[in-house]
Every structure is written in C-alpha cells, then in structure tokens.
Structure 1
C-alpha cells in the first residue's frame, strides 16, 4: 500500500513520499523491515526518538515523530501528537476488521465484561472474540498478550487476523493507559461501556480527574458518533460519564438500579448457593433469571455485557437467556478448590481497595462462618492504595493475611509494612504459597477463603529491568495443591 493513500485516509498531510510503498508499521526499531513506517514516541522509561537512526538503517521509509525531531534518510511525518497520527495511519494499513467491535472501560470489571459479552455473542451463534488482560480469547483458544491494552500495532494486527479467521464480533478492554496513548484506535467501535471508577494507576495519572478524563476518551473520541454508550449508573462517577455521553450525542443504554426506562433496570438480586436470582426490567417487560455467577459486581458485569449485546443488535429474549448459561471468567471469583474441611477457595484479581471491598461483599452472603482473605500489593505501582487495601480487609474480613504480590523492584517487606499499616489484626506471611497454605489450614467447614490480587496471572514478578525475574506462580494451582 502506498504511503499517500494511507495519509489521505487518515487526513494526514505529507510533505513528500506519497509514492513510497509501505510494508508494515512498528514502534520497536528491532521489528523494522524495509518499507516500515516507524513510530518514535516519548515514553516514561524509553524515548523512541533515540532509535530513529537504527530504524532507518533497518529500512524504515517514514518516521512519525514530533516536528522538532531530526529525521534524516526517511520521510518525516511531523505531528504534535505522534501517537495519534501513527494510529490513524496504521488503521488504514490493517484490514479487514471485524464487522462489530465494542469496548469496555472502567477500573474494575473490564475483563469479565468483555469475556461475558463474547460468551453471549457465541451463544447467539456469532463468531466472537475478546481482547484484554486474559489475551485474545476465542471459542477455540486463548493467547496471552501480556497487557490489558496491547500496543497499537499488535492491537490492529490482532483485529485484522481475527477478521481473516472469520471472527465477526470482538469486545476489547480499553484501559486508561491504552486510551491516553492511542493504543485502541482504528476499528469502528459500535458500542462502548463504562463499568465504574475507583482509585488505581495514580502512579501514571496525576489525580482521579485525570484518570477519569483518560477513560472518557472512549466516549469523547473513540466510539462511533452513531454508536451506543452502555453505562452502569449505580457508581458515583456514572453521572459524570453520562454527561460525556450526552455531550457527544451518543445513544445511552443505562444499566443498574438507577437505570431509566430505556435501559436495563435491576429490580432485585437474591444470592444463592451457586449463583444469584435477578429480577430485571427492560423495554417494559419484567424478567426473572438465575445468573450462575457469585457476587453483586458479577451481576453488574453480566448486565453491562447484556447491554453491549443488545446495543449491537441482539434480541432481548436470546440475550437474557444467555445470561443464565454464562461461565465464570478465569481469575474472577473463580472457585479453585474445596478444602478437606469443606471450605471453598476463591481466586480473584482484586488489587485495589474498591475491588477488595467488592470481592468481600460478593462472598459475604454465601459465607456462614469466617471469611479469610490472602492479599498483597504490587511493587512499582500506586503506593497510596496500600494502606486503604489493608483497612478494607481488616474491617470487612474475619482474618486477613498480608503476603507478597508482584514486588517488582521494591523491597517486599516495605510493601507489606505499608499494607499492614492500614488496619489492626492483620497477619503477615511473606511467602505467598505459605500464606495460601496458612489460610487453608485455618478454614473450617462454613468458612470461605479468598486469595486476592493476582487472579489469572501465571507468574510472580520480582525485580525490574535486566534483573527482572518472573517466577512460575498460579494462585489457582497453588490453592489446589495446598488444599490437597
């Protein structure tokens, strides 16, 4: 494809090079081949502009970079926002795209919501996939990408590859990092959802307003102007999200107890031993259904997923019937095992104060005895959430065991100390396997054990940079081994 055609489609002005043949796009100079367009971006740890000469030497025919950057030997596509310009150019190169694409943003629930949406579509006979923290998931396989929102080249290549395999429906997670760095651009996004907002990633965003603004790029710019916004309206940030929806002129499909007449209104929720009974109202009809997932926030995720399916043409009877057949998402209140005394062990990805509170609240109605929580905080991440995490568990669980999560470059003992400072009565067990074993040893027949923080992750990250090691560690597998 010629550079001029890509530039015209992306509304990008070229000073020269219109006839150059483009063979690919890359943001890593080591992946440049002859004919590549190279994106040179400033990052928190690495400045891609430093690798422009290496990229050109490897065959880059054009470089997208800031106007003041020196580019010699290739076309300089100058832009005050190189990430956005690069994404627009790349979107024209990667084709075809799946016919129906939806996105989900929010602090918690993104992974579950995109995966549950995929399941609803699949049960309706659609060939569907999800992209996010769990990787690229189809009915046949799951391939890890390692990031909630992969880089723009990987993202677009994944979408194009899925389309070539016959996938017509894709739901993807839109993280605040991905949105602020233009890693989710390109496809026509027919519908987008907002789940909730709570403290997270304040090591990257300067404050909660900045964090929220990054999320709202999804409604402000990414979703198609004729698209639908699905909003869980029972969150304290929801009305501000609705304001963005209305300002853009998108169709609103509200979900929750506060939903309007055009949305999905949750009338009641009754916890059961293996799931929960929901009574909802949609399009003037009241429906009762049994959701085979545990917890209030799982009900919220399922209903938001139903909203996305409805927004993309799903029939109401078919969509709500699918909710009764949903399967739990990996590492999201996943029952890993039952102890010899009969206590169930759940594994959940909760790693923020709000997520811990939600996971505990989800399990509490099912717990006749004590709720025992094993948790920790990751290193090189928002330190301000550590004490609040300790406070939530100390106040709302019956026993909290503080252990290591992914310490990365930090001293694990310091991290644990900061978590322990959040509340009285917490126990400290440094080794994560030993902590899980201690919780299981404590649990009696009517108790529940929650292992929180890592969820689906398969490794424990220790160190950083060249000293980084990823030790094999799967909470579900370890819980099963300890229970046995």
Structure 2
C-alpha cells in the first residue's frame, strides 16, 4: 500500500514520499523501520515530537503530528488531533478485522463482561476472543497479558492477527484513557455496552463529568450508525441510575438501538434473584417470556455483568434460547470473586480486583450473604493514582466488613505508609499490616468456621509495582498463590 493512496483515502494529502510503500506503523521511535508511518504525540510526561528526527533517521516515511510540529524531510500528515488521524490511517493498513466486534465501557465490570461475552459466543459455536485487562484471550482459552486498552498499533495488530486465525467475534474493554487517546479506533464496532460509573481516574480526567464524557465517546463516535447500546439499569443508587439514564440519552441521540438489562429494564429484565451457596437463581423476562437461569456465580454485580454479556450476544445475532442456557455454564473470571482457597478451619478465601469504593462495596455485598460468621477484608490502594478515593475505600470496607486489614497494594512512586494513612482516615479501627503477604496470612489465620476472607485490589495481577519511571520494579506477587500458600495448600492442588 502506497503512502499517497492511503493518505488520500483517509482525507489527507502528502507533499512527498507519495509513492513510498508503507511497511508499518509505530508510536515508539525505537520500533521504526524503513517505510514506517510514525505517530508523534504529546503525552503527560513524554513528547513524541522530540523523537521525530530519530524516527526519520530510522526510515520513517511520514510523521503524523500537530500542524506546528517540525517534521523535516518526511511527509507531514498534520492534524490537531494526531492520535485520531494516526488511527484512521493505521486501520486500513491492518484490516481486515473480525466481522463482529463489540466494546464495553464503565468503571467496574468491563473485564468480566468481555470475558463472559467471549464465553457465550464460544458456547454458541463461534471462534471468539476478548481483549482487556486480562490480555488477549483466544478461542482456545490461552491468554497473552496486556493493558486494559493497549496502544493503537498493538490493538489493531491484535485484531488483525485474530482475524487471520479465523476469529469472527471479539469483545474488548474500552477504558476512559483509551477512548480519550483514540486507542480504540478502526474496527467496525456493531454493539457497545455501559456497565456503571463511579469514582476512578479523576487524577487524569479531573471531574466525573469529564470522566463520563470520555467513556461516552464509545457511544457518540466509535460504534457504527444504527448499532446497539446495551446498558445496565436498575442500579441500587440514584447516582448510578442517573449515569445509566445519561448513557441511554447519548445512545438515543446517536440513533442507536437501546437495549437495557437489569431491574426495570426493557431488554432483559431481572424479576428475582435468590443467592445460593455456589451461585444464584435468576428469574428473567425477555421478549414476553419468563426464564429461569441458575447462574454459577455469586454477587449481584456478577448478575449485571452476565446480563450485559447476554445482551451483547443477542445484539450480535445470538439465539435467545442458546444464550440463556449458556448463562448457566459461565466460568468465573480470573481475579473476579475468584475462590482461591479454603482454610483448614473451612473459611473460603476470595480474590477480587476491586480497587474503587463502589467496587469494594459491591464485592463485600456479594460475599456477605454467604458468611455465617465474620467477613474479613484485606485491601490497600495503589500509588500514583486518584488519592481522593482512598478514604472512601476505607469507609466502604469498614461499613460492610467485620474485620478490616489495610495493607499495601501497588505503591509505585509513593510512600506506602502515606497511602495506608490516607486509607485509614476512612477506616478508623482497622488493623494496619504493611506487608501484603503478612496481611493475607493474618486474615487466613484469624478466619474460623463460617467466616469468609476477601483479598481485594489486585485480582489477577502477578506482580507488586514498586517505584516510578526508570526506577520502577515489578516484584512477583499473586494474591491467589499467596492465599493458597497461607492456607497450607500445596502447589498444584485445589
């Protein structure tokens, strides 16, 4: 594909190198090879424009950058939003993509929802994959780890690779950062979903309205005209219901088909829910019919995730009968209310990724009905992230738990003791155990028959991030593995 042809097709002109063959795209100058189109973007700490000379020296034939950027002797594809322009140019180069692509946004539940959607498609006989916090999960269940929303080159390359492998259905997480930075552009997205909105990432977005607006780019710009918006309704708080209604309004203004799920929903209605020891019995309504599903997952928020997944499956042509039957065979998602161990006293230990006040409250509420004795919660807060959520996380833990142990999470570049102190401002009376392994061990040792232990914050993560920038280190740490070791379970046993 020649540069001039590609640029013209996307509405751009080039002053030189029009006949040069495009061999690839890169946003890291160290990955530039002859024939590469280089994206030079301004970031929070690094300005990609500073590396334009190095990229050209390495063989870049074009640079996508702001109009005022100095590009030298390469073609300058200028745009006030160079990230958007770069994505528009890269998409045709990496195409084709899987025929059915859906995206999920929201504060909590994205990971579970995209993975459950993949499972529902798989059980319907499709070659399906998911992309998100857990990485890229392929049709055979293998996982390659990655960021919630990878950079645009990785994202498009992943989709292209999946298409070449015969994958026809893909669900991906659309984070607020990814949407704000145009890391989700390119493929034809036929259906989108909104799970919920609560405080997170305000260190980046500043306000809840700006945070919500970033997520709504998925509805306003990314999904195709006439697509479907699946929205979780019937939230327990008026605030959550307000965000859901605002998401519905965005969908209606765009002309999307609005498909709501949950209590008071018009798509899939939740009529009743009865928790059990290993799951819950759901009574649902769909298309005038009453349906009973035995969902093998615990927690009200897992019901919401499962119903959003079902909505996405139906929106992409899924058969209703097969979709609802498949809900009864869903498997737990790694690090999402994952039962890691049962202690010698019979107390189960659950691991969850909850790292916001609402998510922690939801995880505690999910486990509370199953605890005949005490609920013991171990958690911390990450460094170099929104400090305003730390005390509310402490308050949420104290409100729903009988015993709270505050420990370290990923301190990154902050003083771990200072982070714990902020959390403890909202968790008056909680116990402080700095070392995370010692904190988990203390909870396991204290748990008796009828008790439940919740270890929250890291979920599926395999490491503890200490330090910042070039000094950052990732120390091996897996909450599931540590919980099993503390419970005295030999490696390899369940």
Q: Which bracket does the TM-score occupy, shorter chain normalised?
A: over 0.9
Once the two structures are TM-superposed, the CA of residue 189 in structure 1 deviates from its matched residue by 0.2
Indicate the residue corresponding to 2:474 in structure 1. 470
Partner of 2:268: 264
Name the structure 2 match of 1:249. Answer: 255
**Matching of residues 265-414 of structure 1 within 5 Å:** 265-414=269-418
TM-score normalised according to structure 2 size: 0.97
Q: In 2, distance between residues paired with 1:250 and 1:12?
A: 29
Aligned residue in 2 for 1:40:
40
1:134–1:142 Cα contact (<8 Å) kept: no
Report if the CA contact (8 A) 1:339-1:440 is conserved: yes
| CA distance in structure 1 between the aligned counterparts of 2:204 and 2:387, rounded to whole angstroms | 12
Q: Residues 311-337 of structure 1: CA distance to partner in whole angstroms, max 9, x if unpaired?
A: 000000000000000000000000000
**Which residue in the other structure is 1:57 paired with?**
57
Mapped contact 2:139–2:167 kept (Cα < 8 A): no
1:167 correspondence with 2:173 = no
Q: CA deviation at 1:290?
A: 0.2
CA-CA distance at 1:6 after TM superposition: 1.7
Instruction: Please state how far the C-alpha of 1:4 moved relative to its aligned partner.
Output: 2.2
Counterpart of 1:227 in 2: which secondary structure? strand
Q: Deviations over 1:184-239 (max 9, x none)?
A: 00000010000000000011001000000000000000001121000002233100
SS across alignment from 1:245: helix
What SS class does the counterpart of residue 369 from structure 1 fall into? Answer: coil
- Is the 8 Å Cα contact of residues 456 and 474 (structure 1) preserved in structure 2? yes
SS in 2 for 1:136: strand
Q: Is the 8 A contact 1:9 1:92 kept in 2?
A: no
Q: Give unmatched runs, 5+ long, in structure 2.
A: 235-239, 489-494
Structure 1 residue 141, shift from structure 2 partner: 4.3
Q: Which residue of 2 aligns with 1:112?
A: 112
Equivalent-residue separation in structure 2 for 1:378 and 1:12 (angstroms): 42
The TM-score, its normalising length taken from structure 1, stands at: 0.99
| Counterpart position of 2:190 | 190
- CA separation in 1, counterparts of 2:351 and 2:116? 18
Q: Which runs of 5+ in 1 are unaligned?
A: none
Task: Give a deviation string over 1:281-321, Cα, whole Å, max 9, x none.
Answer: 00000101100001000010000000000000000000000
SS at match of 2:167: coil
Match of 1:81 in 2: 81
* Alpha-carbon distance between aligned partners in 2 of 1:383 and 1:4, rounded to the nearest angstrom: 48
In structure 2, what is the equivalent of residue 216 of structure 1?
216
> 1:226-262: CA deviations, max 9, x gaps?
21000002233100000100000001111110212xx
**Which residue is 2:491 aligned to?**
none
> How many angstroms apart in 1 are the aligned matches of 2:145 and 2:214?
22
Superposed CA offset, 1:134-186 (max 9, x none): 00001324343431000000000000000000110000000000000000000
Question: 1:95 offset after TM fit, Å?
Answer: 1.9
Give 1:423 shift: 2.5
Q: Secondary structure at the match of 1:279?
A: strand
2:492 counterpart residue number: none
Q: Using the alignment, how far apart are the partners of 2:54 and 2:83 within structure 1?
A: 19
Q: Secondary structure at 2:104's aligned position in 1?
A: strand
Distance in 2 (alpha carbons) for counterparts of 1:481 and 1:202: 36
- In 2, the alpha carbon distance for the partners of 1:161 and 1:141 equals 16
Q: Answer with 134-143 or 473-482: which moved more.
A: 134-143
Q: Write the distance in 2 (CA, Å) between the matches of 1:344 and 1:395.
A: 21
Task: Determine the C-alpha separation between the residues in 2 that align with 1:229 and 1:325.
Answer: 25
1:411-450 matches, cutoff 5 A: 411-450=415-454
* C-alpha separation in 2, matches of 1:20 and 1:431: 56
Alignment match, 1:203: 203
CA distance in 2, matches of 1:5, 1:125: 39
Whether the 8 Å contact between 1:12 and 1:85 is mirrored in structure 2 is no
